[in-house]
Amino acid sequence: MRGDFTWVDGERLIRFAPGALGDAPELLGDRGFEEYALLTTERALLSAPDLADGAGVVLLVPPGQVPVAAAAVRTAVEGRQLVALGGGRVIDSAKAIAGADGLKCAAVPTTLSGAEMTTIHRMPAGVTTVRLVRPSLVIADPALMASAPMPGLAASAMNALGHAAESLYHPLANPVTDAAALSAARLISDGLSTEAPERHQLALGSLLAGYALGSTGLLVHHIVSQSLVRVTGAPHAQANAVILPHSLSLMTVRAPDALGRLARAFGADVPDPDRAVSHAATLCARSEVTTLEELGVEWQQLDDVVQTALERPELRNTPEPPGARELKELLESAFE
């Protein structure tokens, strides 16, 4: 599989290559990003200080959920085009502001969140009109995307693996998204199956998984994981890592063909859904968190997590959508 490419997808240009960060000034200029507002964090900015040179303003996105974080910096953007340098929260904040104010945004991801590849985001606090956008320029440098140390990198990779897995049984799944998702699953599995992670493979797997998710949508795994984060404050990547084997187990009867193909992508010699679940659990263990209790989630919070998940309309896209009882059982199985 090619590790250096330029991909034009509608209005969007994606540049994936080792050293792509060095091409950022030229790419941004060619795509009309001049005197832009750079949304970032102090940590991310250290990895790409040159991006600040072309910015009209540098805005540090505060911690917290995207609606509040985006609202906190929105006014200071002052109509500039947006460049997001950071992880999912930073990129989603840029998308939120771009959607609210009719602006373009570009993304330079520093994690495996996949946010750079989707229109999935919430709007800034106080904005009631929903306009979902995706970055029109993605500068994907694998060394930067997969720069996090282990075991946090493994947790981030499990979020990406969840993107790939769930896109296989979404109602909008198709041969193109299937090909991207299965390639992503294979890359992520291979990238975490060696003692030292293969960071280039993880980055490319994340990009392809993000594409698959962006072309399909969210299902039960991400709805439960996101509900955990919102209700309990659990860290996003680690919540995904803990929940993934349990959400895949829920789908073995609902989507056996998809889980069988996932097992084959992981290297199994037969399309056995249970093999997909067990291999995912092995990969998730590399994040060094395997229970909700380890994330500080309390048993009495589970009912609120279930209620929050049930309120998400995307849950209906899950084959045979689970109800309150099954969601509670899923969370209980991941608790300890």
What DSSP assignment string belongs to 49-96? THHHHTEEEEEEPPSS-HHHHHHHHHHHHTT--EEEEESHHHHHHHHH
Which residues of the chain carry a pLDDT beneath 70?
1-2
Q: How far is Cα 31 from Cα 290, in angstroms, rounded to an integer?
A: 43
pLDDT of residue 110: 97
pLDDT of residue 1: 59
Coil, strand or helix at 249: helix
Structure tokens at 85: 């340098």
Domains 5-145 and 152-333 share a fold: no
Q: How far is Cα 329 from Cα 4, in angstroms, rounded to an integer?
A: 44
Distances (CA, A) of 108 to 180, 236, 238, 336: 21, 19, 22, 37
pLDDT of residue 336: 83
Strand 5-9 to 12-16 pairing? antiparallel
Backbone angles phi, psi at 161, to 5 degrees: -60, -35
List, in order, residues 6 or more apart from 270 with CB less than 8 Å away.
Answer: 260, 263, 264
Strand partners, 84: 39, 107
Domain 5-145, CATH number (from 3.40.50.960, 3.40.50.1970, 3.60.20.10, 3.30.420.40): 3.40.50.1970
Domain parsing of the chain, residue ranges: 5-145, 152-333
Q: What is 152-333's CATH superfamily? A: Dehydroquinate synthase-like - alpha domain (1.20.1090.10)
Q: Which of 285, 111, 265 is nearest to 190 (CA)?
A: 265
Q: How far is Cα 69 from Cα 46, in angstroms, rounded to an integer?
A: 20
